[in-house]
Structure 1
Amino acid sequence: MMQKDFTTGIISTGYFKKDAYNALQMPLYANAAYEFESAEAMADAFQGRSAEHTYSRITNPTVQYFEQRVQKITGAVGVTALNSGMAAITNVILELAYAGANIVTSSHLFGNTWSLLSSTLAPFGLETRFCDLTNPEEVAANVDENTCAIFLEIVTNPHLEVADLKALSAVAKSKNVPLVADTTIIPFIDFHAQDFGVNIEIVSSTKYISGGATSIGGLVIDYGNFNWKHSKRLEAFAKQFGPMAFTAKMRKEIHRNVGAYMSPQTAQLQTLGLETVELRFRQASNSAKELAKRMKSLTGIKHVNHIGLEDHPYYSISKEQFGEYTGAMFTFTLDSQEACFAFLDKLKLIRRATNLFDNRTLIIHPASTIYGTFTQAQRDEMDIDDCLIRISIGLESVDDLLADIKQALV
């Protein structure tokens, strides 16, 4: 069960085993292999008859504790920590997909996710069906007997499009297809994915969780709320493991074969980051909304796009799904790409850098950076505007951020 208070749940999570020195923080187990007292004990561990660690590419005590904390406060049946958000997405798709399968998603995806589906996995026989995920009827029309998943970002980056998750979940259930959601933009502090019918949640823990961009990581969170007998890839595992089929296959095959497990050094940093994520997220989220409001009246800014503003087209569904805190990222547009570059060059406090949800405020021109290697036709397909700027709000004061923006607009 989820702890009523997020931070209390994080801090009160105990270890699987008592620490030899009663350390309050999980020690860093920076090792590759583990010694066994006997050949029989070694065989038991490698064949899954015991829960002992065998090799840190597969499991590690420090990483396991990070996973345990996330599992406790999300109410998941299984959590797998990987070495990036993209690794988490890739592992999930490799688990569900097969040659001849299709995945239904939006063209409004983060650039590397779009590229993974369109360029990297397509030659292996996975079809991607891009459609409007805000239109449940269109989604339903694209799902067939070979659809392995409906995949979405709960807030698209950088478009800030928000689909109705309950409507998508209803489509997924009616078609016996899992609903997989990248929830990075709104962390599980306030957004409870399973309440909206999400079966598998994917998080780039690099963002809010890492504690100020200290490390790169990703999470796959399994809620055990899908009947995996309907999945062609997981049917056999469903017979043996029931609701745990997805995590069982991830642990026994996918993640150990792909080799993208999180490092213990990263897990230690992100375990600490979890303890303060609630405070940092809520401050940054409030600051983002306030700054967006103030920026709407500035000369030189054409449009401010923040899902927490009442004039946003997805304001109502965002409030319903995410509540008071709607994230620390928003976008705005200027007159031209040249104006965007001139503005960025004048900034003094705000950092010209990629990434999201650092303790520092970061800003980027998506069309020339994240999407800079895509063709114009591809950018048009993904609706990437040359005049768009994305900003991720950190922990600085709103007054200081606004002053920097004002001087850069002159």
Structure 2
Amino acid sequence: MSDDFAAKVQSVLPGVRRDLEDLVRIESVSADPERLTEVEKSAEKTAELFAAEGVDVEIVRAYDGAPPAVIGEKKGPEGAPTVLLYAHHDVQPENDHADWDSAPWEPTERDGRLYGRGAADDKAGIMAHVGALRVFGDDLPVTVRLFIEGEEEVGSDTLVELLGKYQERLEADVIVIADSGNWDIGVPALTTSLRGLVRVDVEVRTLTHAVHSGMWGGLVPDALMTLSRVIATLHDDAGNVAIAGLHSGPAADVDYPEERLRAESGGAPGIEWIGSGSTVERLWTKPALSITGLDAPKVAGASNTLVPAAKARISLRIAPGDTTENALARLVAHLEANVPWGATLTHTVVDTGEATQIDATGPAYDAARAAFTEAWDGTAPVDMGVGGSIPFIAEFLEAFPRASVLVTGVEDPDTRAHGANEGLHLAEFERVVLAEALLLRNLAR
């Protein structure tokens, strides 16, 4: 049976790839107001692709002018399980074209990869769903429902409203979220945990206006120095996050070899890793804190003045089991307790997203593991954590508490999603399509 499925996948794959390339050529950057018509085109193309497979589709919005999502249904046999397939059709900005080895909006194959913005994240997720439907044609063994989002890359602001508005049309026994990745080339994975996110802009002020550094230096603290001291308190000497009251937990017993870690992380030669615990604990189940931006005078053209105010953006990843409410309160308390010299500290919350921990047990997960093992020629999937955040998964779990949520994906460690030279490993993509077809077969059983 698996040989028949593999042969069918190979027969549909050329068309799936052509359609993926057409999707990649649509510049559906949801963060760019000047390309909102491209987001509309992407939704229309996505709807067209599923309609061609017999799905009754509709483009919907939370309100007039909101980003377009595609929902739909294709009925299976009476009494068969219902499976909701999720992906998103919007993409990240391509940024500087000079950083790409080929044009970001013209899909290009090199060394077994298809390069282009959205080639993996997440238009390949869309096409994995399309490919699985093409394998079955009119003999779909389950009822499939569809939710293809159009604003994932800008925070899914209207997702909760959409899930509430169309809940009856999206209810399912199993939800397949194709927006994650696999452990390695040749090693599949189910994502079972993701860290949450708290982003805060912090400003420190020490002066009402800039003053001469020679006249007042040594007496008046400048804001940059003061902010630097605050930032320095956020980690201990080993590099662990030093904010009291944040949650940490154990991670799966997965080996992450040093050579692979250094190659995939882009760590500079000689750099030492920070924190304590196993590699995957530090990446998946412990908090992490980064300074992702600073507002301060540039070195070029800087004058001999004491800076009156300086601002930093703090990105705090919180471990599964923690909450954004707790993490935000702990972070703010730490900052306020550690601002020196009577400086004024203010903070503004940029955004938050809850962490996710999935209990990956039960028949749906057994069906998924069997499908993945079969598609990868006997290699069982890893239960993988992800250090990044996909807050909408927690919203699906809340909206559909009785559903089994499977977080899958097309990415691999060298996909470079969100960066230049984003690429899809084509051989792995074939296995992803096969695995999803086998999953639908297994769920029907």
Give TM-score, length-normalised by structure 2: 0.27
Relative contact order (alpha carbons < 8 A, sep ≥ 6): 1 or 2 greater? 2
Is the helix fraction higher in 1 or 2?
Answer: 1
Q: Max radius of gyration: which structure?
A: 2
Is the strand fraction higher in 1 or 2?
Answer: 2
